[in-house]
Chains A and B, each alone.
Chain A
Amino acid sequence: MRKFKEFIIEKLILFCGLASILFVVLIFLFLLKEGLAVLKTVSPFGFLSGKSWYPISDPPQLGILPLILGSLMVTAGAALISIPIGVACAVYIAEVAPAKTKEILKAGIELLAAIPSVVLGFIGMVTLVPLIKNLFHLPTGLTALSGSIMLAFMAMPTIVSIAEDALYSVPKSYKEGAFALGATHWETIWRVMLPAASSGILAAVMLGIGRVIGETMAVMMITGNAAVIPNSILVPVRTLTATIAAEMGEAVVGSEHFFALFAVGIVLFIISFFINVTADLFLHKRQS
């Protein structure tokens, strides 16, 4: 009897453990089922490289190249801003800051992570957008750069907390060895600590980017959502996520538009998956 109970509990826990994998697989299958139907209307190449997104015209033009490039542009901008600041912040917290400052900084970063993205979007809309318009003398402040800056705030907490952990887990002997050889504090950080923690820092960066590329609400509010191929960071862009969020509401169920939005979801899923796997590879590399 006890054995039987043990058996049931064991299987239940196994099921719980496998549940998340099961959900991901089910979601992916559902996405595939709905999204691949778009291939009846447009070839995979035409879908990925088409330059026009007019989903409700007759016939619809379903080219998502401007959306992919829009997402990449905003993400690249956010990465350029958040990586140096985030890593520097992690170095300061892990290596330089006195204990009290460290606690305050860590609490601050946790608070930053807790701000809902719609609030960041709203703040960006009323403060950052007019500022960027006036600063660069642009026709409009709703640009990829505005989105990048706001998203950089969202990526920072992820980057800082994971990079900081990576720095902590560098064996103490490395640091002591560097000091013993007469290296200054800066030389130790730059030549020893950062290289030793590099794979963890890369993982932090990848996870930060993953957070950015999936973000929807803030980018929808401040990037202008114009489906053009961006030629600079100072023009409006439309991202993959904003397109799904803005258009899913009224896409007629079963129409080409509906399937195309699911296909956009597949593209997004693949990008996200790729980023997460890369991050995971870096983390494993560090352990071995």
Chain B
Amino acid sequence: MTPGANRNCAGVVYVHKEDNMLRKFALASIMLIALNTAFAASNKNSIQVKGSDTMVNLGQAWAEKYMEKNPTDFVAVTGGGSGTGFSSLISGTCDIAMSSRNIKEKEVALAKQKGINPNEIKVALDGLAVVVNPANPVSRLTLDQLAGIFTGRISNWKEAGGKDEKIVILSREVNSGTHVYFKEHVLRRNDPNSKEEFAPGALMLSSSQAIADELAQNSSAIGYYGMGYISAKQKAVAVAKDDKSEYVEPKIENVVNGKYPISRPLFLYTNGVPQGLVKKFVDFTLSKEGQDIVLATDFVPINR
């Protein structure tokens, strides 16, 4: 083979790489365009619901049941995250935003500018479980200890009543509402001036399932996720507000009666007071049937 032929061969690889890169960015731009245009304004008998990834399964279960009862109506549910839901509500490309956090002042201001008036409706509760491997002797922790562990001040299990082992922190990626909630309510204890952050050494995993899998095989790991993901392969620890309070297990009844300290409300946001089809759907989610679906998807109902 001549050197020229070889040059060609290298050239192929070269182009292939560039092509890969191009594809990556093309994808990113397609995603951006899709954000703006795909969920175009709704017509009379269809509504768009968008937002929190935590709530996608719940939203879809609601939509399926609702459409079964009202075959002429159409409800489309998509995820993307709480922030994505708010930006679609503000830009008028969805009718209902699902969110696992309250709307931020910045977002309200932006909405007002666009003539949108966000209206908050609490539809369910979600308990965040702190989870360890079943082989870990630690089975209860205070919020202070949790903050210490996840910020890296407590780095060995023996400081929290366990074996002499380095603690491996598992966290969700920063795009997750669960990550944000845990940081604000456990690490920063709801203090807006607090500068606490997850330890830089915390492993960032891309899904709750990935955290559950790693916990199942790693005896020195600790992680957090929605109560729905707890299984026999992991052990959820009981949590207390401080060392004088009672340690509470992450169970549905403890979230309902407000004893469990790490639980959060889940919301739907609409533009102004819901009307027409949007009202019909929101009323359905709050009905007995809707709240049964909440329970069936491992969240905690608010109307029992």
A interface list, Cβ under 8 A from B:
20, 23-24, 27, 30-31, 52-57, 66, 130, 133, 139-140, 142, 158, 161-162, 165-166, 168-169, 200, 203-204, 207, 210-211, 214, 216, 220-221, 224-228, 235-236, 238, 246-253, 265, 269, 272, 276, 279-280, 283, 286-287
- Which residues of A sit under 8 angstroms from B10, Cβ to Cβ? 162, 165, 203-204, 207, 279, 283
User: Taking A249-B175, A272-B21 as contacts, is the C-beta distance between A220 and B9 under 8 angstroms?
Assistant: no
B interface list, Cβ under 8 A from A:
1-7, 9-10, 13-15, 17-18, 20-22, 24-25, 28, 31-32, 35, 80-81, 83-84, 87, 165-168, 173-176, 180, 195, 197, 200-206, 214, 217-218, 220-221
Q: Are B203 and A142 in contact (CB under 8 A)?
A: yes
User: Taking A214-B17, A250-B80, A283-B10 as contacts, is the C-beta distance between A140 and B175 under 8 angstroms?
Assistant: no
How distant is the Cα of A220 from the Cα of B207 in the complex, in angstroms?
12
How distant is the Cα of A24 from the Cα of B24 in the complex, in angstroms?
13
- Which residues of B sit under 8 angstroms from A23, Cβ to Cβ? 22
Q: Are A224 and B203 in contact (CB under 8 A)?
A: yes
How distant is the Cα of A211 from the Cα of B14 in the complex, in angstroms?
10
Q: Are B21 and A27 in contact (CB under 8 A)?
A: yes
CB distance from B216 to the nearest CB of A (A): 11
CB distance from B8 to the nearest CB of A (A): 9
Beyond A158-B13, A162-B10, A252-B87, list 7 extra A-B contacts (CB 8 Å). Answer: A162-B6, A169-B3, A226-B201, A238-B204, A246-B174, A250-B80, A250-B174
Q: Are B200 and A140 in contact (CB under 8 A)?
A: no
Q: Which 3 A-B pairs have the closest CB atoms?
A: A250-B175, A225-B204, A250-B81
CB distance from B196 to the nearest CB of A (A): 10
A-B contacts counted at CB < 8 A amount to: 132
Residue in B81, B195, B203 whose beta carbon sits within 8 Å of that of A249 in the complex: B81
Q: Are A140 and B6 in contact (CB under 8 A)?
A: no
Q: Are B25 and A27 in contact (CB under 8 A)?
A: yes
CB distance from B253 to the nearest CB of A (A): 33
How distant is the Cα of A133 from the Cα of B175 in the complex, in angstroms?
28
Residue in A20, A130, A207, A226 whose beta carbon sits within 8 Å of that of B203 in the complex: A226
- Which residues of A sit under 8 angstroms from B220, Cβ to Cβ? 139-140
Least CB separation from A262: chain B residue = B28
Q: Are A225 and B197 in contact (CB under 8 A)?
A: no
How distant is the Cα of A265 from the Cα of B22 in the complex, in angstroms?
12
User: Taking A203-B10, A226-B202 as contacts, is the C-beta distance between A252 and B173 under 8 angstroms?
Assistant: no
How distant is the Cα of A142 from the Cα of B221 in the complex, in angstroms?
12
Least CB separation from A227: chain B residue = B200
How distant is the Cα of A77 from the Cα of B176 in the complex, in angstroms?
31
How distant is the Cα of A204 from the Cα of B204 in the complex, in angstroms?
33
Q: Are A251 and B175 in contact (CB under 8 A)?
A: yes
Q: Are A250 and B83 in contact (CB under 8 A)?
A: yes
Q: Are A247 and B173 in contact (CB under 8 A)?
A: yes
Residue in A161, A221, A253 whose beta carbon sits within 8 Å of that of B32 in the complex: A253
CB distance from A142 to the nearest CB of B (A): 6
CB distance from B91 to the nearest CB of A (A): 10
Q: Are A165 and B200 in contact (CB under 8 A)?
A: no
How distant is the Cα of A253 from the Cα of B28 in the complex, in angstroms?
12
Least CB separation from A162: chain B residue = B10
How distant is the Cα of A36 from the Cα of B55 in the complex, in angstroms?
35
- Which residues of A sit under 8 angstroms from B203, Cβ to Cβ? 140, 142, 224-226, 236
Q: Are B197 and A57 in contact (CB under 8 A)?
A: yes
- Which residues of B sit under 8 angstroms from A287, Cβ to Cβ? 3-4, 7
- Which residues of A sit under 8 angstroms from B165, Cβ to Cβ? 139
How distant is the Cα of A250 from the Cα of B165 in the complex, in angstroms?
35
- Which residues of A sit under 8 angstroms from B6, Cβ to Cβ? 162, 165-166, 168-169, 200, 283
How distant is the Cα of A162 from the Cα of B4 in the complex, in angstroms?
13
User: Could you give 20 example pairs across A and B, Cβ below 8 Å?
Assistant: A55-B174, A57-B195, A57-B197, A139-B221, A140-B203, A168-B6, A200-B6, A203-B10, A207-B10, A214-B17, A227-B204, A235-B201, A236-B201, A246-B173, A246-B174, A247-B173, A249-B80, A249-B81, A252-B87, A253-B32
How distant is the Cα of A236 from the Cα of B9 in the complex, in angstroms?
36
